[in-house]
Structure 1
Amino acid sequence: MNNKQIPFIAGLILLIAIVIGLRASIYILDEAEQAVIVQLGAPVGEPVTTPGLHFKTPFIQEVRRFDKRVISWDGDPNQIPTRGEQFISVDTTARWRIVDPLVFMQRVQNERGATMRLNDILDSVVRDKISSTDLVEIIRSKDWKISEADLARVQLSGEDDEEILLQEVQTGRQELVKSIFDQAASQMPELGIELVDIRIKRIDYVEAVEQRVFDRMIAERQRIAEQFRSEGQGRAAEIDGDTKRSLAEIQSEANRKAEVIRGQADAEASRIYSEAFGADPEFYAFLRTLESYPKTVGPSSTLILGTDSEYFRYLRDVSVQKSQAE
């Protein structure tokens, strides 16, 4: 290595160091992020909330990034007794966001820590509110009016549900959810969190009570099904009776018309026979006699008749005429 290469190499090393230092001092935040600068484990300065290009001291400072968007929280269903000692399963959900990343980092570190604190706070508030509220206030809104159709439908599932419907609502479910939100939201600023909203997703009876309700509903539905089946069978019998009656009327009318047609045909035949007999009585008698021979004399029939029998008169006359011709 000669003396001319030393400045070049030194300059190259310096350039590389500058590039590395510049890269280590630049960071970029997008619109969904906010950050806290940490130097040797301790936060310095104010949180960075504006998106874009930012600078920090390289190597000794690091960037802790936090989400600015709304984050969902889903709690596990809890079995909670109401003020009336009815055990119900309550499933809640909430939405929250980080509004003070510095406090958030100092108190809960990250989203996993925040979720654990939310589980404690929200589950505790929900349990306290539910256990001090009657069931009717939990499942009904204050402005909900009971219709006759609703009452008739709920009567099918048992007297307990009917009693719940008939109770007067003082606050209702909306006010209950609002009170849960207000109490839980008041504890969020100390965590650097804003609670956006909270909802009760589902309310069910616990398994033991639920099974009894289902059994009662099944029995009632079976009773209704039997009633419908009985009404259907009665209607089917009525339709079958109407069908048979209509069929009998149709058959009777058809038989009447057939008898009328048959009588008219017989009358017409008699008229034709009468006309034929009147035109040539002798020929008519001859034709009728010939038609009777195949019906009365078979291949194995034996008749003993006199020569002057009227039955063979035409045959005898034909034989006589034939002899005279010969």
Structure 2
Amino acid sequence: MKKTTYLIPVLVIAVVAALSAIFVVDEREKALVLQFGQIKAVKEDPGLAFKIPIIQEVVRYDDRILSLDTETIEVTPSDDRRLVVDAFARYRIADVVQFRQAVGVGGIRFAEDRLSSILNSKIREVLGADQVTSDTILSEDRGRLMIRIRDQARAEARSLGLDVVDVRLKQTNLPAQNLEATFARMRAEREREAADEIARGNEAAQRVRALADRTVVETLSEADRDANVIRGEADAERNRIFAEAFGADPEFFAFYRSLQAYERALQGGNSTMVMTPDSQFFDYFSNERAGQAPAN
């Protein structure tokens, strides 16, 4: 009975010791086995692993790609136009032993503070370099600038056991005090462009109107010319017909012209005409003259 009493606690202690000696490494992490703060083993492959109970401890680190947002900073490109920039980085722990030696017990938080300082330094260095203007940063060339920032930050972050996978500039804005002046300048430029477009449109409209007016004048001139030609030809034809009629029977032609004169002169109205009865105008009213009219 006494043996059983002592055996059970020993078995329990043995089981607990055996269980504490076993740990599982997840596929999304890496683990270090430490003994009195010294690295004794590195466990990078997922699965079961062992350690000495009580004496050794396990420290786990995330093996996935992590994200870090930098704080907003101001940079001054070569054209002296200040910009407010904030970025984010993607990184992972590439060398877990070097990472532990660099950050100690500070872990990820301490490493991200160090990495954030590195990124801000490289952002200022790259965006403030010669030949880099604010227009370059705001153009398609910003992709090339981000690659330069990533490469320089990656080289310096290796001392922390980190691999900087990517760096992206989220925003590149003007400081608040400069925005209004910039917007005013942009409005002025757009208004000037609009005025130039309006002036060019008015000039084009004047050319079109002048061309239309000239076309109208030329068309009317040609029409008047053609009309005068037709009227002249008609008058010539009329005169020819009258001349032939006059030559064929001068007496009848004189009689016909007199009738036309009577018709125009003797129309009703308020006009008064005083003439002597023996006037030649009344030749065809006398019996003798009327009797001489040719009969048809």
Indicate the TM-score class for this superposition, using the shorter chain for normalisation. 0.5 to 0.7
**Displacement after TM superposition at 1:218 (Å):** 6.7
User: 2:187 & 2:79 partners in 1: Cα distance?
Assistant: 26
Per the normalisation by structure 1, the TM-score is 0.55
Instruction: Name 1:24's counterpart in structure 2.
Output: 20
**Could you say what secondary structure the match of 2:78 adopts?**
coil
Residue of structure 2 equivalent to 1:87 = 82
> Is the counterpart of residue 48 in structure 1 residue 43 in structure 2?
yes
Q: For structure 1, list consecutive stretches of 5 or more residues without a partner in the other structure.
A: 142-171, 225-326
Shift of 1:217: 5.5
Q: Which runs of 5+ in 2 are unaligned?
A: 194-296
Q: C-alpha offsets along residues 256-277 of structure 1, whole Å, 9 cap, x if unaligned?
A: xxxxxxxxxxxxxxxxxxxxxx
Shift of 1:214: 3.4
Q: Which amino acid in 1 is paired with 2:164?
A: L
The answer as to 2:29 corresponding to 1:60 is no
Partner of 1:124: 121
* 8 Å Cα contact 2:118-2:157 kept in structure 1: no
Distance 1:135 1:8 in 2: 83
Find runs of 4+ consecutive structure 1 residues off by over 2 angstroms: 213-224
1:275-306 per-position Cα deviation (integer Å, ceiling 9, x unaligned): xxxxxxxxxxxxxxxxxxxxxxxxxxxxxxxx
| Pick aligned residue for 2:64 from 69, 72, 78 | 69
- The CA distance in 2 between the partners of 1:115 and 1:194, in whole Å, is 12
Percent identity, aligned pairs only, is 33
Number of residue-to-residue matches in the alignment: 190
Aligned to 1:232: none
| TM-score normalised over the length of structure 2 | 0.60
Q: Write the mapping of 1:98-247 to structure 2, written as runs, cut at 5 A.
A: 98-109=93-104, 110-132=107-129, 133-141=132-140, 172-216=141-185
The question of whether the paired residues in 1 share the 8 Å contact of 2:122 and 2:153 is answered with yes
Deviations along 1:232-253, one digit per CA (max 9) or x if unpaired, are xxxxxxxxxxxxxxxxxxxxxx
Instruction: Give the drift of 1:189.
Output: 1.8
The 1-side partners of 2:192 and 2:136 are apart by 31
- Deviation of 1:213 after TM superposition, in Å, equals 2.4
Does the C-alpha gap of structure 1 residues 223 and 183 become closer, same or farther in structure 2, counting only changes over 3 Å? Answer: closer
Residues 103 and 110, structure 2, Cα contact 8 Å, conserved in 1: yes
Q: Give 1 or 2 for the bigger CA radius of gyration.
A: 2
Does the residue aligned with 2:156 lie in a helix, a strand or coil?
Answer: coil
